[in-house]
Structure 1
Amino acid sequence: MTTRDLTDDLEAAMPLAFTDFDPAATNRRAGLVIVDEVNGFATVGAGALAPPVPNEQVSTMVSETVILARHFTAQGWPILAFQDTHIPGKPEPPYPPHCEAGTGEEELVPELKWLEQDSNTTLVRKDCINGFIGAMRADGSNAVADWVTENGITDLLVVGICTDICVMDFVLTSLSARNHDMMPGLKDIYVYGKGCSTFDLPRETAEQIGYGAAAAHPQEPTHYMGLYFMASRGAQLVNKVVLPA
């Protein structure tokens, strides 16, 4: 069985439902969340967890994110971009060292570097998989919750990497935080499928490099599973974002 066969079986057994998303909808206020589109995850050869060769799913994610970010900032709509950033030498099991501060892996990919100077963008560095947890401050406040409230956001549109890891953790926790009234006014969380990606580690490669078969992470089915679990918890999956002309 190929990974395509496996994905086809998942689609047959657990179909996904997609919708269009219009960030300019009347009486709504959209915010774009970009999860970890940094060199260490999305620039070819940039680190242990970066794609070793060009990857279509990853490159599509970046190009779709650039389109969305350009449109959001042109309309004056808020953007929040996470940057996975770790203290050098402090491990994050089960992953090898990655995105350590000062290495450049923790910086936004070149196509999104302009966000650092964008007045509509809030940058949040996080030291763990879950961006909502990583946004907790020492005083107990949360940078994501404050951003949502201060901008009057009713809808989050989420893109980024990895679909089934950092993106999913953020979305699932944000859904719970919404239901716990930590973000008053937030109504829905949308995940743009083509704006997300994950890494590819076939079983044979995992075994060859000594990680073992259990570390296998085929890209297509794990991306699909991430979308499925987010939708099963209440996120809305998006296959088209309606943008102003």
Structure 2
Amino acid sequence: MPDSADLPGLTEHLAAAMPVAPGKLDLGAEATGLVIVDEVNGFATVGAGNLAPPSPNAQVSTMVAETDRLARGFSERGWKILAFLDTHEPGKPEPPYPPHCEAGTGEEELVPELAWLENDPHTTLVRKDCINGFVGAIRPDGSNAVVDWVNAAGLQRVLVVGICTDICVMDFVLTLLSARNHDLMPSLKDISVYTKGCATYDLPMAAVESLGLPRTAAHPQDPTHHMGLYFMASRGAEIVDRVTLPV
């Protein structure tokens, strides 16, 4: 397979063959909660760890800025927010990924722009030790922090942002859709994913080869971002590229 740089228009070809067709979401008509997936230093702060961006990345920066905008709007209105923080026991591997977001390193903490959420009365923080936040929210007694959060507030919609679009965000959204369909959260009707509030990492083939990684590690940012959105949409999530808050 040639390097992604030799495949001009790959994302455009994918979008034509597998369209997403995002819409606009005007908030305020129904009880909505905001879920923020893993916007921690280890994934979104430049140079902060093995899985952090090595240099400034426009998609990641936009994600953080849009998440902050929405989170502040939700908090000002007293709306519910749940933030996942990827947090791993030091020395315990999570194949196929190198060590990341280990407790005590600082990688597992929210990016500086979102650190205010730690003291926000409307925000629930959930530390998770696996890709899928819904699974990571299962408590030792079998109860689930996400299910309890939705049910306690009677949420009708959940709006999801975070990183990575095609990994942690997608796994959470797909599982939440199944949990909704299984009637674990009777009030929940819609699960929306905000395109500009999500991001994924960029590891093109040229970088893979220069690092001596297997070619299967290739992960070009724009195509994989689109693929994540497509699979969530194909399973019933609402994809939106504009989100407005009530005046």
Q: What TM-score, normalized by structure 2, do the two folds share?
A: 0.97
**Residue in 2 that maps onto 1:129:** 131
1:153 counterpart = 2:150: no
1:165 counterpart = 2:167: yes
Pick from 26, 29, 35 the counterpart of residue 22 of structure 1: 26
**Residue in 1 that maps onto 2:15:** 11
Task: Give the superposition deviation at 1:244.
Answer: 2.4
The CA RMSD over aligned residues, in Å, is: 0.9
Pick from 37, 40, 56 the counterpart of residue 38 of structure 1: 40
Pick from 178, 181, 188 the counterpart of residue 183 of structure 2: 181
Task: Give the superposition deviation at 1:16.
Answer: 1.2
Identity of aligned residues (%): 71
CA distance in 1, matches of 2:8, 2:142: 44
Secondary structure at the counterpart of residue 129 of structure 1: coil
Secondary structure at the counterpart of residue 85 of structure 2: strand
**Residue in 2 that maps onto 1:144:** 146
Q: Is the 8 A contact 1:39 1:109 kept in 2?
A: yes
Give runs of ≥4 in structure 1 deviating > 2 Å. Answer: 1-4
Task: Give the superposition deviation at 1:18.
Answer: 1.2
Secondary structure at the counterpart of residue 169 of structure 1: helix
**Any stretches of 5+ residues in structure 2 without a counterpart?**
none
Task: Give the superposition deviation at 1:12.
Answer: 1.2
Q: Is the 8 A contact 2:84 2:125 kept in 1?
A: yes
Range moving further from structure 2, 215-224 or 179-188? 179-188
**Any stretches of 5+ residues in structure 1 without a counterpart?**
none
Q: Counterpart of 1:155 in structure 2: which amino acid?
A: R
Q: Counterpart of 2:56 in structure 1: which amino acid?
A: P
Q: Is the 8 A contact 2:165 2:200 kept in 1?
A: yes
Secondary structure at the counterpart of residue 9 of structure 2: helix
**Residue in 2 that maps onto 1:242:** 244
Deviations 1:86-144 (A, max 9, x none): 00000000000000000000000000000000000000000000000000001110000
| Pairing 1:200-219 to 2, within 5 Å after superposition | 200-219=202-221
Q: Is the 8 A contact 1:204 1:213 kept in 2?
A: no
Task: Give the superposition deviation at 1:5.
Answer: 1.2
Q: Is the 8 A contact 2:156 2:189 kept in 1?
A: yes
Q: What TM-score, normalized by structure 1, do the two folds share?
A: 0.98
